[in-house]
Amino acid sequence: MTRTAPTTSLASLESWAILAFFLMFLSIYLIGYFLIFRKQTLKIRPEFSSCLISLFHGTPAAILGSAAILSDSRQGFAAPNTSFQKLVLDYSAAYFLTDLLHYVFFYPKDVLFIAHHVATLFVVLTCRYAVSHGAFAVLVLLVLAEITSACQNAWTLTGARKDQDALARRVHHALSPPFYAAYSVVRGFVGPYFVYRMIVFYVSGGARGLVPVWAWASWVLVVVMAIGDDGIGVEVVACQALPVVVGPQARPLVVVCQARALVVGPGTSLFPIKPLPLRFIFTQKR
């Protein structure tokens, strides 16, 4: 009787993967805080350490998430999660848990970011452990969220040093236009379109019996709220009312507004890009 040597598969890693990833991210954070950035001020050391673990999560998560999506022949909003997809979800959950502890410990008053991380963990963990379906949708959103992560972290790090370092200032200024543009396209257009497709599928009953209503409804709610904080905004600069006489009884009022496009960037701050003139015309009969 022959014995076969035990093989290591992705499925066999599932029981401890999230713990291993959490310890990895925590170790990277502590190394950054106590070693790599030890010469920085206590004010920015936590932020730099957070950016460090984000660098180890963002681009790898985008690559791994894309690979996990493309390797699944049953792509769809209600498809069962594959072992590879579960591993990527564990990887991201571990990162968000580590960064959540960072915010709770150093920035307990930053309720918006803490709530964002808690909500993201809820989506990832329920998809991974409670529903076991829908990883396709969650991973696509993860890829869209993290595809600009490397540029964003470099932009954040150089921004923190731009007042003390001329090179950091030049790099920060050079990164700003492409970062704003990429962030706007991904978060302001591609992401919302995908969420629209996701909502249409779930509302039409495409996942009935596979993804519970409470699950997909809560996922959609979290994502829509996130898009509300990260997207495209419009600032009205000036409006002018122009009365137009058309006849003895009709006197329309034409209002012409000048506006400029704004990028609602990370941290819910408004980053104005090159002014884009827009004209809104409202006609009212008196």
Which residue bears the tokens 């962030």? 183
Is 202 in the same domain as 110? Answer: yes
- Same domain membership, residue 130 and residue 18: yes
**What are the tens digits of pLDDT across the range 16-69?**
899 999 999 999 999 999 999 998 888 889 999 998 999 899 999 999 999 999
**Lowest mean pLDDT segment, chosen from 50-54, 130-134, 178-182, 196-200:** 178-182
Q: Are residues 251 and 151 in the same domain?
A: no
For position 151, what pLDDT does the model report? 84
| In a shared domain, residues 239 and 225 | no
Give the pTM. Answer: 0.73
Question: Does residue 4 lie in a domain region?
Answer: no
The total domain count for the chain is 2
Q: Are strands 278-284 and 270-272 parallel, antiparallel or unpaired?
A: unpaired
Distance CA 185, CA 191 (A): 8
Q: Is residue 154 part of a domain?
A: yes
**What string of DSSP letters covers the chain?**
---PPP---HHHHTTTHHHHHHHHHHHHHHHIIIIITTTS-TTTHHHHHHHHHHHHHHHHHHHHHHHHHHT-TT-STTPBPPHHHHHHHHHHHHHHHHHHHHHHHH-TT-HHHHHHHHHHHHHHHIIIIII-B-HHHHHHHHHHHHTTHHHHHHHHHHHHHTTT-HHHHHHHHHHHHHHHHHHHHIIIIIHHHHHHHHHHHHHTTTTTTTS-HHHHHHHHHHHHHHHHHSEEEEEEEEEEEEE---SSS---EEEEEEEEEEEE-GGG-EEE-S---EEEEEEE--
Mean pLDDT of the chain: 79
What is the pLDDT confidence band of residue 248, given thresholds at 50, 70 and 90?
very low
Sign of CA dihedral 96, 102, 105, 106: negative
- A 10 A CB-CB count for 90 gives 23
Q: Name the more confident of 168 and 17.
A: 17
> Does 260 lie in the same domain as 208?
no
182 burial level (CB within 10 Å; 0-12, 13-18, 19+): middle
Q: Is residue 2 domain-resident? A: no
In this structure, the answer to whether residues 154 and 184 fall within a common structural domain is yes
Report phi then psi at 118, rounded to 5: -65, -45
Whether residues 53 and 146 share a domain: the answer is yes
HEC sequence for 15-63: CCHHHHHHHHHHHHHHHHHHHHCCCCCCCCHHHHHHHHHHHHHHHHHHH
Please state which of the ranges 69-83, 94-108, 227-241, 271-285 shows the lowest mean pLDDT: 271-285
Do 117 and 103 form a contact (C-beta atoms < 8 A)?
yes
DSSP 263-281: EE-GGG-EEE-S---EEEE
Same domain, 261 and 166: no
196, 265: one domain: no
The answer on 103 and 207 residing in a single domain is: yes
- Say if 8 falls within a structural domain: no
Asked whether residue 156 is assigned to any structural domain, the reply reads: yes
Query: Can you give the residue range of the structural domain that contains 256?
Result: 234-284
In this prediction, residue 243 carries a pLDDT of 45
Residue where one domain finishes, among candidates 185, 202, 229: 229
Give per-residue pLDDT as tens, 193-239: 999 999 999 999 999 999 999 999 999 999 988 776 554 443 334 44
Look at residue 284 in the predicted model and tell me its pLDDT.
Answer: 37
